[in-house]
Amino acid sequence: MAADLWTALFIAILAAFTGYEVISRVPVLLHTPLMSGSNFIHGIVLVGAIVALGVATTPLEQAVGLAAVIMGAMNVTGGYAVTVRILAMFDRSKRRGGGS
């Protein structure tokens, strides 16, 4: 196992505790946006998909890589748009002007 993997493992452990600490403070009220927001955050998978497609050589690799990029891009944009829409509903300042 290469040194980089060990580094990544250290990072993963720290990220898990950071994630737990940060997220356990989220109120029940915002559980849906928390879920769809974290859904958006794992859209970073698009970056990995671009790497996979970017280094793909055979037609099969390119086809699978393209599928990865399409799905990753859907994840990012859809996750973002859904979260922003949901959070807009919790925005008091906006509602006061707009009625209903």
Partner 1 sequence: MSAWVGTVIDAVYVVAVLVFILGLKAMSSPETARRGIVYAGGAMLAAVVAILFSPGISNFALIAVGVIVGGGIGWYWARVVQMTAMPQMVAIFNGMGGGAAAAIAGVVLLSSLTNSADTGLSLAGAVIGSTSIAGSVIAFLKLQGWMRQKPVVLPARQPVNLAVLAFGVGFGVYAAATVQPFYLLPFFVLLLLYGILLTLPIGGADMPVIISLFNALTGIAVALDGFALVNGPLGDAGYAMVIAGVLVGAAGSLLTVLMARAMNRSIGNVIFGAFGAAEETGVEVTGSLKPIDVDDAASMMEYANQVIVAPGYGMAVAQAQQRVKELADVLESKGVPVKFAIHPVAGRMPGHMNVLLAEAGIDYDKLLDRDEANPEFAHTDVVLVIGANDVVNPAARRVGSPLQGMPILDVDQAKNVIVIKRGQGKGFAGIENDLFYKDNCRMLYGDAQQVVGKLVQSLKRAA
Site for partner 1 in 7-46 (CB under 8 A): 7-9, 11-12, 15-16, 18-20, 22-46
Least spacing, CB of residue 96 vs partner 1, in Å: 10
Output the six-digit token pair for 35: 């879920």
| Cα separation values, 21 from 3, 12, 18, 37, 42, Å | 28, 14, 5, 16, 18
Residues comprising the chain, all counted:
100
Residues 44-83 that bind partner 1 (CB under 8 A): 44-58, 60-62, 64-83
Least spacing, CB of residue 66 vs partner 1, in Å: 5
- For residue 1, state whether it binds partner 1 (rule: CB under 8 A): yes
Please name the helix (run of DSSP H) or strand (run of DSSP E) that holds residue 19, with its range, or none. Answer: helix 3-23
